[in-house]
Amino acid sequence: MCGIIGYTGNKNVTSVILKGLKNLEYRGYDSAGIAVLDNKKIFISKFKGRISDLENSLKKIKIKSQIGLGHTRWATHGEPSKKNAHPHTDCFGKIALVHNGIIENHDKLRKELKEKGCKFKSETDTEVIAHLISKFYKKSLRKALIKTLKKLKGSYALAIINTDNPEKLLTARCDSPLIIGKGKNENFIASDAPAILEHTKKVIYLKDYQVAEISKNKVEVFNFKNKKIPYKVNTLAYDKESAEKKGYKHYMLKEIYEQPKILSTLFAQYLTPSGRTKFTNLNLKRDFLKNIKKITIVACGTAYHAGLVGKYIIESLTDIPVEVDLSSEFRYRNPIIKKKSLFIAISQSGETADTLAAIRKIKQHNVKILSICNVLGSSLTRESNSIIYTHAGPEIGVASTKAYTAQLMVLYLLTLHLATLKNILDKTKLKKIISSLKKIPHLQKQILRNDKKIKNIAKRHLHFGAFLYLGRNINFPTALEGALKLKEISYIPAEGYAAGEMKHGPIALIDEYRAVVCIANNSLIYEKMVSNIREILARRGKIVVIATKGNKNIKKYVKEIIYIPKIENLFSPLLVTVTLQLFAYYIAQIKGYDVDKPRNLAKSVTVE
Ligand code: M6R
């Protein structure tokens, strides 16, 4: 959720922090703040609203500093306001800190601290951390921090400055993402790579229950016994440009347009020149893969929809039954876990709290975990037995687009891999499927070239107060995803439904004020969709239909048609999704909303 950054070095501290915060703003954006050490005093500025407000306020102030931290907030405890914005301080203004996570026992700690005379200035859970450190602080701030952390229940990534140690940043993590960036005569703390990419690609992934002390020339990592421990420096694979807008009005639009290229990258990664799948780093024994008896997929939001599509793909090409669960449900239910099961977690960020909790639960049963993830080195990838990266590059738009189609493509290729190992697919069929998949980037480009038409249809429908999205079979999850995209960025209530369920309830919603998006591409169940369309028309619902190019018959019923190129139904989600992404994007964009930063949302949901 929130974004944190810390810096120590010779550059202009405020501008490094502000720039870093802007690149983290997708994580939360209801308030922002900065703290820097200037002449052994802590200077703090914080604002409700966007980072640009904070930036304007700082223009008038001259600060000479070599060390500081910043925060962009997604409120959990206490409304978005100046007083609740981070950084938070102790009673003496000697310690300032920023936090991402939730302190679950903060009420109890607050009560105890108040009894000991602490004066609280905010309603946040974070403030207890500053007061606790101050209470424990005698000679070593690090020791005080470790004592504090042992008292906390919940999740945290922290960056701390202190007037007695003006050259040092302190940091710690537990269940919230955090990296340390190593530069030349400068070092960084950040929630995520985009904040520091412009300065360094060398990073240390701090692990849970580790603390680090950082000065501009040194990074030292300690465990909770205050013992120095070795660490590994990794090199980030992506560059600064991949996290920029490149002339597009919004990141979301740029990311929609990147999809054909990403799918081609995935072919290069996971297919041999002769068209066989290659997952060289799968780290799972062939024998195990050949004998999988059940697959369970867990994920949240858009990634969950990818999992649902995955069920259709895997079950139609292999003999493996698939169960798909929302991570937030899975973690609190009593799943039946049998031997020879494979557990797949799907996540763009690899930091989603519920998905991490789900895999931790499954780990207790000694089951193999394969993660499909976009962010290298994220918590999910570090905690899984096996990883398939989606190679979609940094996804900045809060509404997930390119990560989704990349997840789908990985699921297609993984399915082919399993089916081949199990000897279920013969060479000819495998060749045919791969040839269809390889056409997809080109076909997606055709849809993108048609984007004016989609924009015009969006224009004609943005006044509708509510939408229903209907699909069947493999495009039922596509309907869910289309509805999610629309509601996330345009705030129009939108519901996705399996078209066959329409008569069991949602039909009651249909009248001339309801827009219904029907996915009716060519497939075995096309006629069933047509029946649904006729039922909607009979009730004067306004239909936008997604149909396959060449289908003239549909014109008899519907005027608003978005055609997708011809493709077998099994692969159609990769095309239909792109049209629905563009449709949602244009509705929100024309309505004038901040598409990349929809209200109340954050890119990675790192709290429960
Ligand atoms: O990073 P993850 O893929 O684990 O995130 C899961 C969801 O939070 C995410 O897909 C969310 O639903 C997006 N805002 C969808 O656009």
The 3-state DSSP class for residue 70 equals: strand
Q: Per-residue pLDDT averaged across 367-385, rounded?
A: 91
Query: For ligand 1, what atom is nearest to the CA of residue 349?
Result: 1
pTM: 0.83
**Is the CB of 347 inside a 6 Å radius of any atom of ligand 1?**
yes
| pLDDT of amino acid 246 | 79
Q: Could you tell which of 302, 375, 383, 384 is best to mutate to test the pocket of ligand 1, judged by most ligand atoms within 8 Å of the CB?
A: 302
Residue 140, pLDDT > 80, answer yes
Confidence of residue 23 (pLDDT cuts 50, 70, 90): confident
| pLDDT of amino acid 469 | 98
**Is the CB of 300 inside a 6 Å radius of any atom of ligand 1?**
yes
| pLDDT of amino acid 239 | 65
- Calculate Rg over the CA atoms of the chain: 25
What confidence tens digit (pLDDT) does each residue in 386-422 have?
999 999 998 999 999 999 999 999 999 999 999 999 9
The fold for domain 251-445 equals Rossmann fold (3.40.50)
What's the gap in Å between 400 CA and the centre of ligand 1? 6
DSSP bridge pairs for 180: 189, 204
Confidence of residue 241 (pLDDT cuts 50, 70, 90): low
Pairing of strands 494-498, 466-471: parallel
What's the gap in Å between 303 CA and the centre of ligand 1? 6
**What tokens does 301 get?**
């939001």
**What tokens does 208 get?**
């849970």
CB contact set of 280 (below 8 Å; sequence gap of 6+): none
- Round to whole Å and give the CA distance between 166 and 67: 8
Extract the runs of DSSP E, i.e. beta strands, from 10-84. Answer: 31-38, 41-48, 67-73
**Is the CB of 265 inside a 6 Å radius of any atom of ligand 1?**
no
Residue 242, pLDDT > 90, answer no
Q: Per-residue pLDDT averaged across 252-268, rounded?
A: 96
| pLDDT of amino acid 483 | 98
Residue 37, pLDDT > 90, answer yes
Q: What is the mean pLDDT of the chain?
A: 93
| pLDDT of amino acid 280 | 77
**Is the CB of 327 inside a 6 Å radius of any atom of ligand 1?**
no
List active site positions. Answer: 2, 603
**Is the CB of 397 inside a 6 Å radius of any atom of ligand 1?**
no
| pLDDT of amino acid 364 | 86
Q: Per-residue pLDDT averaged across 543-568, rounded?
A: 97
The fold for domain 451-591 equals Rossmann fold (3.40.50)
Q: Which of 518, 587, 262 is nearest to 410 (CA)?
A: 262
Q: Are 199 and 181 in contact (CB under 8 A)?
A: yes
What's the gap in Å between 301 CA and the centre of ligand 1? 5
**Is the CB of 607 inside a 6 Å radius of any atom of ligand 1?**
no
**Is the CB of 399 inside a 6 Å radius of any atom of ligand 1?**
yes
Q: Does the fold of domain 451-591 match that of domain 251-445? A: yes
Residue 149, pLDDT > 80, answer yes
| pLDDT of amino acid 238 | 67
What's the gap in Å between 179 CA and the centre of ligand 1? 21
Confidence of residue 365 (pLDDT cuts 50, 70, 90): confident
| pLDDT of amino acid 29 | 78
What's the gap in Å between 370 CA and the centre of ligand 1? 18
- Round to whole Å and give the CA distance between 26 and 593: 15
Where in the chain are the domains?
3-242, 251-445, 451-591
**Is the CB of 352 inside a 6 Å radius of any atom of ligand 1?**
yes
Residue 100, pLDDT > 80, answer yes
What's the gap in Å between 52 CA and the centre of ligand 1? 26
Extract the runs of DSSP E, i.e. beta strands, from 424-513. Answer: 466-471, 494-498
Region of poorest pLDDT, from 192-206, 229-243, 342-356, 389-403: 229-243
Nearest protein CA to atom 4 of ligand 1, as residue? 347
- Round to whole Å and give the CA distance between 258 and 244: 12
Region of poorest pLDDT, from 97-106, 117-126, 229-238: 229-238
Residue 74, pLDDT > 90, answer no
The structure tokens 């969006």 sit at 458
- Architecture of the 3-242 domain: 4-Layer Sandwich (3.60)
Query: For ligand 1, what atom is nearest to the CA of residue 605?
Result: 8
Q: Which of 5, 20, 14 is nearest to 65 (CA)?
A: 14
Nearest protein CA to atom 9 of ligand 1, as residue? 301
What's the gap in Å between 307 CA and the centre of ligand 1? 12
**Is the CB of 602 inside a 6 Å radius of any atom of ligand 1?**
no
Query: For ligand 1, what atom is nearest to the CA of residue 301?
Result: 12
Q: Are 420 and 277 in contact (CB under 8 A)?
A: yes
Residue 86, pLDDT > 80, answer yes
- Round to whole Å and give the CA distance between 550 and 79: 53
**Is the CB of 490 inside a 6 Å radius of any atom of ligand 1?**
no
What's the gap in Å between 601 CA and the centre of ligand 1? 10
Q: Per-residue pLDDT averaged across 276-293, rounded?
A: 91
Q: Are 192 and 27 in contact (CB under 8 A)?
A: yes
Nearest protein CA to atom 8 of ligand 1, as residue? 301
Q: Per-residue pLDDT averaged across 571-589, rounded?
A: 98
Confidence of residue 240 (pLDDT cuts 50, 70, 90): low
C-alpha dihedral sign at 297, 302, 308, 314: negative
What confidence tens digit (pLDDT) does each residue in 459-489 have?
999 999 999 999 999 999 999 999 999 999 9
Nearest protein CA to atom 16 of ligand 1, as residue? 399
| pLDDT of amino acid 563 | 97
Instruction: Tell me which amino acid residue 511 is.
Output: D
Q: Per-residue pLDDT averaged across 480-501, rounded?
A: 97
**Is the CB of 589 inside a 6 Å radius of any atom of ligand 1?**
no
Looking at the chain, the whole-number percentage of residues with pLDDT higher than 70 is 99
Q: Which of 69, 107, 67, 105 is nearest to 85 (CA)?
A: 69
**Is the CB of 301 inside a 6 Å radius of any atom of ligand 1?**
yes
Q: Could you tell which of 378, 605, 607, 608 is best to mutate to test the pocket of ligand 1, judged by most ligand atoms within 8 Å of the CB?
A: 605
